[in-house]
Chain A
């Protein structure tokens, strides 16, 4: 955008020309918004329908034309869900799993990224190559063997069983590596002159300076941990250990034809993460700078 202002005056569109095109521009812009809105309806409407169904307490569920606004809005459906199923346990499990995954990922990825970014040691390229290779490995099929591993380790139906396989991610290590590489060498040299060892450099210089990257990694990890479904549904066998994502399909079975209650369960599941997303959008929507390449 700044490029336009730095153009010589002669290159800019003459004022007279833009005036005659004003009508055309208005039309273009309206058309633009029209297309944007039509596409937004496609992505948002199913959510809206679910929300309206969950907060409506009267009327036909599947009416046509579908109700755009709730009829006799109330929280009865939510109350009924809470009374029938221990949703608090689902919340607690989701929070514990996501929290442990975030903390573990931040620790393990930044620990691993530091030597790769700033130290010279034997096998550095090999180790980094192996980490990158895990991105190419067909990891979606890992759950079969990881299920065997987790059951042999006696971790079925435990939070550790859900969390451990997700901690050392190549993307996280990569993100932290780039953040550490951006730290000026002078700071490290100065600290070492003052007698700091590698651990102190890592803890007192690297981590504080990498806070933005740690924040971004924390948010991305939180969302994927909260949303993961297949793996916790495999590891967790008892209902009281289900996180929300698994709980909602349990709910679907339990309430089968009580559509409003299932909708309420869906709303309860996505609400925390959607609220968080709305406040931290920029971490998702700005493109993950280095992480993309």
Chain B
């Protein structure tokens, strides 16, 4: 098809600012970043090509392997967030009096900056903090737990914060999905004598499948790339037990200015992300298209 050159000119005049910004800040990082992953680069001297050296160093680095393992463990937040977000969405998908205050309450962490969330959860997690107080009061533990000081549980404590701050976000997405389901289907099922449990499993879950798929992908990618919580709450500690793959990249890039190593690490994270997104689409896509 042919378009007049004037039409093309006008269209691209409108598009230029966005295209320029996307090229510089979205596409350039991918291209240049992939190149830097194969070089030594410290921001001052020109990048020096080293082939696969960065990747070899990564695979020899126990800290990186631990970071990868932690990122894999981090994936456990995905099913937990999704199940509780669906539960929340079902609970607030009605017009009960005051329901919008509950929705707002669940959404509160989503509109709070991660740095404040880190501060708040540091308060909650300290040895004489509220959480230990409750656990001791219920006689679940006798000694206070060092949630962020104990290298065996610090990662789980950080993961819990990720779940806590993510629930409201997915709840809203599921709520939109639930509201798209026609009430007629439920009416018909009620007339056929279906109970709430059957309606949930036979109607809600199948019809919600596209939303579940979308949310799972988003959640998986977010979990693989999680590092903000680590940066704000533990800086990778105690004893480097909370390093995640991207936190490793952050640490080596921003703190040691070892950009080759950092970008090689984030290159691997990106590959994982693409592979996981592909698996998700391939095996979780509902058969009804």
Cross-chain pairs A/B with CB under 8 angstroms, 30 sampled: A1-B183, A11-B187, A40-B106, A43-B164, A44-B108, A46-B123, A49-B123, A62-B126, A66-B130, A108-B21, A112-B17, A115-B14, A119-B7, A120-B3, A122-B8, A124-B11, A127-B19, A136-B277, A142-B29, A144-B262, A145-B33, A148-B32, A148-B43, A167-B21, A228-B113, A229-B113, A263-B123, A270-B112, A274-B111, A285-B100
Which of B32, B95, B136 has its CB near the most chain A CB atoms (within 10 A)? B32
Chain A contacts with B in 20-71, Cβ cutoff 8 A:
29, 32-33, 35-36, 39-40, 42-47, 49-50, 53, 62, 64-66
The answer to whether B176 and A292 touch across the interface, beta carbons within 8 angstroms, is: yes
Within the complex, the shortest CB–CB distance from A64 to chain B, in Å, comes to 4
Stretch of B58-66, B75-83, B150-158, B246-254 contacting A (4+ beta carbons < 8 Å): B246-254
Closest to B121 in A: A46
Say if the beta carbon of A14 comes within 8 Å of chain B. Answer: no
Given contacts A234-B254, A266-B120, contact A165 B187 (CB under 8 A): no
Q: How far is the CA of A66 from the CA of B168 in the complex (A)?
A: 26
Given contacts A131-B22, A137-B30, A248-B119, contact A277 B128 (CB under 8 A): no
The answer to whether A121 and B187 touch across the interface, beta carbons within 8 angstroms, is: no
Given contacts A29-B96, A43-B167, contact A4 B183 (CB under 8 A): yes
Say if the beta carbon of B109 comes within 8 Å of chain A. Answer: yes
Q: How would residues 255 to 285 of chain B score, 1 for a CB under 8 Å from any chain A CB and 0 otherwise?
A: 0000100110010011001100100000000
Closest to A276 in B: B111
The answer to whether B95 and A53 touch across the interface, beta carbons within 8 angstroms, is: no
The answer to whether B11 and A115 touch across the interface, beta carbons within 8 angstroms, is: yes
Given contacts A202-B14, A270-B116, contact A287 B108 (CB under 8 A): no
The answer to whether B14 and A285 touch across the interface, beta carbons within 8 angstroms, is: no
Say if the beta carbon of A103 comes within 8 Å of chain B. Answer: no
Say if the beta carbon of A149 comes within 8 Å of chain B. Answer: yes
Contacts of B231 in A (CB 8 A): 230
